[in-house]
Amino acid sequence: MVARALKLLLFLILVLLGSSAVALASAIGQYNAVPEASATILAPMGLAAIIAAEKWRRRVCRMHQGVGAAYIILKRLGDIIMALILLMIASPAFALLALLVRLDSPGPVLFKRRVIGKDGKSFDMFKFRSMVEGAEQILEQDEELKRNYYVKCKLHTDPRVTGIGILLRKTSLDELPQLINILIGNMTFVGPRPIAADEIEKYGPAIDRFVTVTPGITGLWQTSGRSETSYDMRVSMDMTYIEKRSILLDIWIILCTVPAVLLKRGAC
């Protein structure tokens, strides 16, 4: 940080010196002889100084908001360590749930949903399959089902959900495979939930801020009732998190997630 400050200071000094040299040359009548040379030398220096100053200003602003380099590094390290520990502890449960899903209905064990992540890049979000095969196509073909889904984000009564899927959803165990997404790096423990491409329109202008962060497994929406809240409230909570995010807020959300899951608040 100190080194960057010194670089910025050096840039500013060079610009001031260059400007002084031009002024001096003009005073002694020599300015007209070297205008192109002065512009060639000073313009890049001035531009570089302006760019460096702007980068420094933005970095300072991000640090004041709790999203500086330290926050990003600590968050990523915490994600990796927690994901590895949970994967090792939950490996027997993984195997059992995979078997139950496979025996309950035909289709793959894991469901891969194409969602939007940081910088607008799409990726496959993993979940234990809790619906019948071809559930996405069923939703698209049923206008009433689709309309209800987008009002509450989830459906209280979803005819596509399998027997074991009901249990998985009530306990949120269907989201365990997202620990793999965390290790890959396209998800984090705390952050706005990923959205599908057809949900971008519902975010409106807020989508520009949404894609500046890595989506998470849990967040303010998950701890505030999930399907008991409207989509507009979900967007508002996502924007609040992005604006206020910090290590302490992440820890608080994780602690609030535990009772929310145990009490099945907003689960469906």
Choosing from 64, 97, 118, the residue where a domain stops is 64
- Predicted confidence at residue 222, as pLDDT, reads 82
For residue 44, the tally of other CB atoms under 10 A from its CB is: 10
Same domain? For 141 and 246 the reply is yes
- Asked whether residue 267 is domain-assigned, the answer is no
Is the model's pLDDT at 143 over the cut of 80? no
Whole-number average pLDDT of the chain: 78
Co-location of 132 and 216 in the same domain: yes
Q: What pLDDT, on a 0 to 100 scale, did the predictor assign at position 210?
A: 95
Q: How confident is the model at residue 238 (pLDDT cuts 50, 70, 90)?
A: very high
Give per-residue pLDDT as tens, 90-119. 999 999 999 999 999 888 999 999 999 999
pLDDT in tens, 186-221: 999 999 999 999 889 889 999 999 999 999 999 998
DSSP state of 153: S
Cα angle 73, 78, 82 (rounded to 5 degrees) comes to 155
pLDDT at 164 over 60: yes
Whether 161 shows a pLDDT value over 70: the answer reads: yes
Cα separation values, 203 from 194, 230, 266, Å: 12, 12, 21
Residues 6+ apart with CB under 8 A from 252: none
Q: Which of 239, 103, 116, 124 is nearest to 180 (CA)?
A: 124
Q: How many domains does the chain have?
A: 2
Q: Is 114 part of any domain? A: yes
Residue 19 has a CB neighbour count (10 Å cut-off) of 14
Please list, residue by residue across 151-185, b when 16 or more beta carbons sit within 10 angstroms of its beta carbon and e when fewer do.
Answer: ebbebeebebbbebbebbbeebbbbbbbbbbbeee
Q: Does residue 245 share a domain with residue 137?
A: yes
| Domain, as residue range, for 41 | 2-64
Q: Does residue 33 share a domain with residue 116?
A: no
Q: Which of 218, 188, 169, 168 is nearest to 67 (CA)?
A: 188
Residue 3 confidence (pLDDT) above 90: no
pLDDT given for residue 172 in this prediction? 86
Q: How many CB atoms lie within 10 A of CB 10?
A: 12
The 10 Å CB-count burial string (b at 16+, else e) for 117-140 is: bbeeeebebbbbbbbbeebeebbe
Percent of the chain whose pLDDT exceeds 70? 64
Distance CA 128, CA 166 (A): 12
Q: Which amino acid is at 124?
A: D
Question: Residue 181 has what pLDDT?
Answer: 97
